[in-house]
Amino acid sequence: MSKKILSNKDNLQVLYEDNHIIVVNKRAGDIVQGDKTGDKPLSDVVKEYIKAKYNKPGNVFLGTVHRLDRPTTGIIVFARTSKALPRLNKLFSEKKAHKTYWAVVNNKPPKNADTLVHWLKKNPKNNKSYAHLKELEGSKKAILHYKILKTLDNYVLIEINLETGRHHQIRSQLSSIGSIIKGDLKYGAKRSNKDASIHLHARQIQFEHPVSKEDINIIAPLPKDPVWDVCK
């Protein structure tokens, strides 16, 4: 397995930064918030970056607004002020932040573009969500829209827009139609990626700035690897 490069305060990929928000390009393996692994979360790394850059004494305020699965890459938005945090939380909870994802999958989906509707049920024991075509007790409705962007030699690049934000939604729904994300062993990939990543990338986000009200539109560069390189 190749050495995983995680984010630190010196190599942090900052995509946008002002007094109220900071947007970073998460690496595969970065964990957004602390969990039972005890690994340093990306939120702590961003705090260290801010503290060092602005020579801030004492504790640095940082609010986590949303998350990405550990093996995925791409855009994460943090609030830098207590003024911005509740406004960003509201923006995200009301689905007013428009996120676009790119995924590299092993099989071409049945249609070039489609809307997938499933009922997802999470199994906490294996931290996995299962997609069903009918509602089950404890399941949550999941809707996504996809379109094929490019057909590669062995894979297909697709773009995804979410209507709902469920646990492992993209991974589970794409797997259920036979289009498994490259490297995603949990959802049926035959092989893992060497760095334990999966080829799912939060590519773009558009939202209204919580304080200035200007339109923010950010695109996250793709990770450097041979498959992502041919997707550009």
What residues are labeled active site? 69
Q: Is 118 helix (H, G, I), strand (E, B) or coil?
A: strand
Task: Name residue 118's amino acid.
Answer: H
Any idea of the CA torsion for 150, 154, 159, 162, to the nearest 10 degrees? 160
Number of H helices, E strands in the chain: 4, 11
Nearest Cα to Cα of residue 112 among 179, 167, 166, 172: 179
Per-residue exposure over 26-60, b if at least 16 CB sit within 10 Å of its own CB, e if not: bbbbbbbeeeeeeeebbbbbbbebbeeeeeeeeeb
Closest CA to 109 of 82, 133, 145: 145
Which tokens belong to 20? Answer: 């109220």
Q: Which amino acid is at 110?
A: P
> Any alpha helices (H) in 58-119, and if so which ranges?
84-93
Residue 219's H or E segment, with its range, is strand 215-219
